[in-house]
């Protein structure tokens, strides 16, 4: 009886939470899909490719980092397949992408918890840059 009662409470809570999250995720997912179809990412990446050498990465890595940040991890990994990176480069890219990825979706979810989006983006992007620089210097 206790289990049934608890399950009922759980289902109600789940319903409320799911509805809340659906309202957040659907519009952002739409935005991300549009971004994917408009194919603006290669142009943005060209701007950033000269900076990649500071992380010990070739210029092509910019498209991977930008795609991962603006779309999602799967997009970033798909972009990686087009180039050949060394194991060290892959690990540095992985650290960068894991610290900062899927920004449109994830910042919207956390924004719902009253942490400003701009603060989240700053935290994630700045830590991504700092720790990629450090990893590149420390790991010879």
Partner 1 sequence: MEIVKEFIIDFSRGIFSVIMQMVIIITIIMVVLEILRSFGVIDFFNKYLYKLTRFLGISKGASLPLFIGIFIGITYGAASIIESYQQKEMTKKDVILVSTFLCLCHAIIEDTLLFMAIGANPFIIVLVRVIVAIIITLVVRFFYERKHHTDELDNNENEFNQEIK
Interface residues with partner 1 (CB under 8 A)? 2-3, 5-7, 9-11, 13-14, 17-18, 20-22, 25-26, 29-30, 33-34, 37, 73-74, 77, 80, 87, 90-91, 93-95, 97-99, 106, 109-110, 112-115, 120, 123-124, 127, 131, 135, 139
Tokens of 22: 């659906």
Cβ proximity to partner 1: between 11 and 40 the closer is 11
Cβ proximity to partner 1: between 44 and 90 the closer is 90
SS3 of 7-18: HHHHHHHHHHHH
Tell me the closest approach of the beta carbon of residue 57 to partner 1, in angstroms.
Answer: 13
Tell me the closest approach of the beta carbon of residue 129 to partner 1, in angstroms.
Answer: 12
Biggest alpha carbon distance in the chain? 64
Label residue 67 exposed, middle or buried (CB < 10 Å: 0-12, 13-18, 19+): buried
Report how far residue 41's alpha carbon sits from residue 63's, in angstroms, rounded to the nearest whole number.
7
58 Ramachandran zone, left/alpha/beta (phi>0; psi -120 to 50): beta
Tokens of 84: 């050949």
Tell me the closest approach of the beta carbon of residue 112 to partner 1, in angstroms.
Answer: 7
Cβ proximity to partner 1: between 62 and 103 the closer is 103
Cβ proximity to partner 1: between 20 and 53 the closer is 20
Cβ proximity to partner 1: between 38 and 43 the closer is 38
The helix (H) or strand (E) run that includes residue 63 is: helix 61-70
- E strands, the chain, are none
Tell me the closest approach of the beta carbon of residue 137 to partner 1, in angstroms.
Answer: 13
């Amino acid at each position: 009886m206790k289990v049934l009662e608890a399950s009922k409470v759980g289902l109600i809570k789940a319903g409320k939470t799911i509805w809340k999250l659906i309202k957040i995720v659907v519009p952002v997912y739409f935005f991300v899909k549009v971004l994917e179809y408009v194919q603006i990412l290669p142009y943005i990446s060209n701007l950033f490719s000269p900076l990649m050498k500071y992380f010990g990465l070739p210029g092509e890595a910019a498209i991977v980092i930008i795609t991962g940040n603006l779309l999602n991890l799967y997009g970033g990994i798909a972009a990686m397949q087009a180039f050949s990176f060394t194991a060290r480069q892959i690990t540095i890219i992985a650290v960068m992408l894991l610290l900062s990825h899927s920004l449109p979706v994830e910042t919207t979810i956390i924004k719902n918890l009253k942490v400003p989006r701009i603060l989240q983006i700053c935290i994630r992007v700045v830590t991504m840059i700092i720790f990629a620089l450090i990893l590149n210097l420390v790991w010879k």
